[in-house]
Amino acid sequence: MENGNKQFTKRINLLGRWTSIIALFFMLLVPFAIAYYYQVEFQFSNILAASLGLIATFLPTAIAENISYYPVFGAGAMYLSSITGNVLNMKLPAVVSGQQIAKVEPGTEKGDVIAIISVAISSLVTIAILFLGNFVLGEMLAPILSNPILKPGFDNITPALLGAITFPRVVKARNLAITPIVIALGAYLIIGPDSFRSVQSYVLITVMAISVGVAYWLHKRDVLKS
């Protein structure tokens, strides 16, 4: 059984690396192909100069998100969700719901398998909805989505999803949850809503590091066991 699990993990990582490389290649191929077709001249130095600001903003976020999501997703679902995108809005709620329905814990072998299935189904459903919305039902849905009565609800879908996911976790592990909540809320109030977006990735990394330290301290004092 143990050898089978090792082989499964090894194959998942091998498949994940290759599919990520292939997906990244085709993602980069699109702008280069468009530039070649329309004879657009560009220099890599200009591209790098324009990308430095984006890299400084999103690289810490990408690192922090991959580290924070991995205990819930596992290797296979992490590779798949990184390729298909919409991790926070679509994949994370799907994985958490799938694990709750299957009654498995994140970070376990069964939890990783359920996560892979959840991300795969979520990706297929997203593609189907996008296809129907753009080519079939787009004109019919536009008045509904832009309705002034319903628009506030659609604008707050992400906070509602995250709230529904977070609250049971907070109740289940209050001793662990109090530290990141207090630090993140305090940083938000001190920095302010207008400036918080530009530094939220750094705040996330800081909160993660402090939370791990506090969790280790609580574990050594046997607070978590009690």
CA distance 90 to 175: 28
Is residue 92 within 8 Å of 165, Cβ to Cβ?
A: yes
pLDDT score, position 224 = 67
Helix axis angle, 174-191 relative to 157-172, nearest 10°? Answer: 140
- Give the model's pLDDT for residue 4: 65
pLDDT score for 1: 55
Spatial contact of 75 and 112, defined as CB atoms under 8 Å apart: yes
Rounded Cα gap, residues 185 and 146, in angstroms: 31
What parts of the chain have a pLDDT lower than 70?
A: 1-4, 136-139, 224-226
80 touches 119 (CB < 8 A): yes
Q: Which of 69, 146, 75, 88 is nearest to 116 (CA)?
A: 75
Nearest-angstrom CA–CA distance, 8 and 118: 18
Domain ranges in the chain are 173-226
Q: What is the CA radius of gyration of the chain?
A: 21
Instruction: Give me the chain's average pLDDT, please.
Output: 84
pLDDT score, position 113:
92
For residue range 143-170, list pLDDT tens digits in order: 777 778 877 887 787 778 778 778 877 8
Calculate the CA dihedral of residues 185, 209, 81, 78 and round it to 10 degrees. -150
**Residue whose C-alpha is closest to residue 96's, from 167, 156, 159:** 167
| Res 8: pLDDT | 83
Amino acid 59: pLDDT? 79
Q: What's the pLDDT at 26?
A: 93
